[in-house]
A and B are shown apart, each in its own frame.
Chain A
Amino acid sequence: MKTLLLFACLTALPMLAAPQQFELNLDSVAAKASEHVDVSLNAATLQFAAKFLDANDPDDAKVKKLIEGIEGIYVRHYKFKSAGTWTQADLEPIRAQLHGPDWSKIVSTTSSEDGANTEVWLHIAGNKNIGVAILAAEPNSVTVVNIAGNIDLESLAKLGGHFGVPKVKPADKPKKEE
C-alpha cells in the first residue's frame, strides 16, 4: 500500500506546475525602488492566459508558439529615481544561487556607454536545458527573470517591439505641428 502511494505521488509530480528555480530574494533592491513589477505565472496560469491569445493576430501567434515549452515565468523589475541607488552587493543573493552546479552562464555583456550589465544563465539537468535566468542591471533599473521550461531565446528576443501598447503620456509642451 505504501509503495503504491509513493508511486502515485511520483507519477503526479510531472503534472505539478514548475515553481521558480531560484529564490528571487531582492528585498534590499525593492526597498530602494521607486516602482516595481512583480509577475509570477505558473504553468496553469500560462495555459489559461494562452486561451485568450488571438490566433489571427500575428503577434499573439508568435507568443503562443513561444510559450509552448514554458512551465513558469517569474519576473521582478525595479525602477529607481536616480542612478547609483542599487549596488552589486544587492544582486549577490541572486548570483550566489546561480553559481551552483546546475547553472551555467552563457552570456555576460556590459555596455561601455552606461554600464548596463546583462547576464543569461541556463539551468541544466541531465544535458537538457530546463530553465533560463536573466539578470539585467542598468543604472536606473534592475530586472531578474526566471523562465522554467524550454524557451527559444532567439524567438524571445524577436518579440521585442511587438508589445504594441506602450503607456506613453502626452508631452508637457507643444510639439512640432503635423
Chain B
Amino acid sequence: MDWLENELRRALAREDPPDGFAERVMARSARRPSGTRRWLAAAAMVVVAVGAAGAWRQHQGYEAKREMMLALQLASAPIDRIQSEIRGITQ
C-alpha cells in the first residue's frame, strides 16, 4: 500500500461531531413537521373540507411542484458549473 495513501486515510479518518450533536438534531427536528406528517395532515384536511375532488387537486399540485423542482434542478446545474469555472479562473 502506497505510503501517501496510508497517511491520507489517517489524516481523513472520520471524526465525531461535537458532544450532544445527535440530541440537538433530534430536538430541533421534533419541532419541524416531517414530510410524512405534513402529507398526512394535508390529505386529511382536504378530504374533510372539500371531498375527493379536492384531494385529487392536491395530488396534482404536488405533482406539478415535483416537476417544477426537477426542471429547476436540471437548469441550475449547468449555471452552477459555469460560475465555478469562472471563479476558478479568476482566483
Binding site for B on A (CB under 8 A): 37, 39, 41, 45-46, 48-54, 63, 66-67, 73, 75, 77, 107, 109, 111, 116, 118, 120, 134, 136, 143, 145, 147, 153-154, 156-160, 163
Contacts of B60 in A (CB 8 A): 48
A115-B77 Cα distance, complex, nearest whole Å: 16
Interface size on B, residues (CB 8 A): 26
A52 touches B82 (CB 8 A): no
A37 touches B77 (CB 8 A): no
State the total of A-B contacts with C-beta under 8 angstroms.
98
A153-B75 Cα distance, complex, nearest whole Å: 10
Given the known interface contacts A39-B67, A41-B67, the answer about A156 and B82 at a Cβ–Cβ threshold of 8 Å is no
Closest B residue, CB atoms, query A134? B78
A156 touches B79 (CB 8 A): yes
Closest A residue, CB atoms, query B66? A49
Contacts of A66 in B (CB 8 A): 72
Other CB < 8 Å A-B pairs besides A73-B68, A73-B72, A160-B76, 18 of them?
A39-B71, A41-B64, A41-B67, A46-B68, A48-B60, A48-B61, A49-B65, A52-B65, A53-B65, A63-B72, A73-B71, A111-B85, A120-B82, A143-B78, A145-B74, A145-B75, A156-B72, A160-B79
Q: Which of A48, A75, A109, A158 contacts B75 (CB 8 A)?
A: A75
Binding site for A on B (CB under 8 A): 38, 58, 60-62, 64-65, 67-83, 85-86
Q: How far is the CB of B82 from chain A (nearest CB, A)?
A: 5
A45-B60 Cα distance, complex, nearest whole Å: 10
B78 touches A39 (CB 8 A): no
Q: How far is the CB of B16 from chain A (nearest CB, A)?
A: 11
A3-B62 Cα distance, complex, nearest whole Å: 43
